Amino acid sequence: MISIKGIQRVDGEQEVVELLTCGRFYRRNNSYWLSYQESETTGFEGHRTTLRVEPNRVTMQRSGPASTQLIVEGGCRHQCFYDTGYGALTVGINGRQIRSTLTDDGGELDFSYAMDINTALASEHQVIIKVEVGKSDPPQ
């Protein structure tokens, strides 16, 4: 089970979106991977979002009708491709913080970033993800 809470702040206004869904969670080498289907709640119905969580870096890839890749790295600015569905933009992603307690048994990921367009602040974001790994029943 994956619980996602996204907080977006634009011009002093705050919007919160929450999603509870099933998805895939696994570790490959030194990275945790998280993948889930978006829903109407997030405004990205028909998309699949995949996150790669490394120490001090989260890469978010959204695939579907509009593709996006964002790189959030603490203390760094990355130029990223963001497709709104109405057109594509190159945006700056300024990583603020990344905190992870993820283990093979699940845990929590909390990261924040500022998004800019032509270096002008467009929005600030915080994402809190909780992963609960289901335990299979013992064989009978």
- Residue 138: its pLDDT value, please? 42
Tokens 């600030």 locate to 124
Closest CA to 47 of 24, 60, 65, 34: 65
- Residue 41: its pLDDT value, please? 64
Average pLDDT over residues 27-55: 85
Two structure tokens written together for 39: 């829903």
pTM of the predicted model over 0.75:
yes
Residue boundaries of the structural domains of the chain: 2-132
Give the confidence band of 44 by pLDDT, cuts at 50, 70, 90: low
Residue 52 has pLDDT above 70, yes or no: yes
Query: Over the chain, what is the mean pLDDT?
Result: 88
Number of helices followed by number of strands (H, E) in the chain: 0, 11
- Residue 137: its pLDDT value, please? 45
- What's the helix, strand, coil split of the chain in %, to 5? 0, 70, 30
- Residue 124: its pLDDT value, please? 97
Average pLDDT over residues 131-139: 67
Q: Select the more confidently predicted residue: 86 or 138.
A: 86
User: Residue 119's CB: how many other CB atoms inside 10 A?
Assistant: 8
CA distance 64 to 26: 22
φ/ψ of 137, rounded to 5, equals -70, 145
**Residue 95 buriedness (CB in 10 A; 0-12 / 13-18 / 19+):** buried
CA distance 6 to 129: 9
- Residue 106: its pLDDT value, please? 95
- Residue 103: its pLDDT value, please? 95
Residue 42 has pLDDT above 80, yes or no: no
Per CATH, the homologous superfamily of domain 2-132 is Calycin beta-barrel core domain (2.40.128.20)
**Per-residue pLDDT reduced to its tens digit, 64-120:** 877 889 999 999 999 998 877 787 888 999 999 999 999 999 999 999 999 999 889
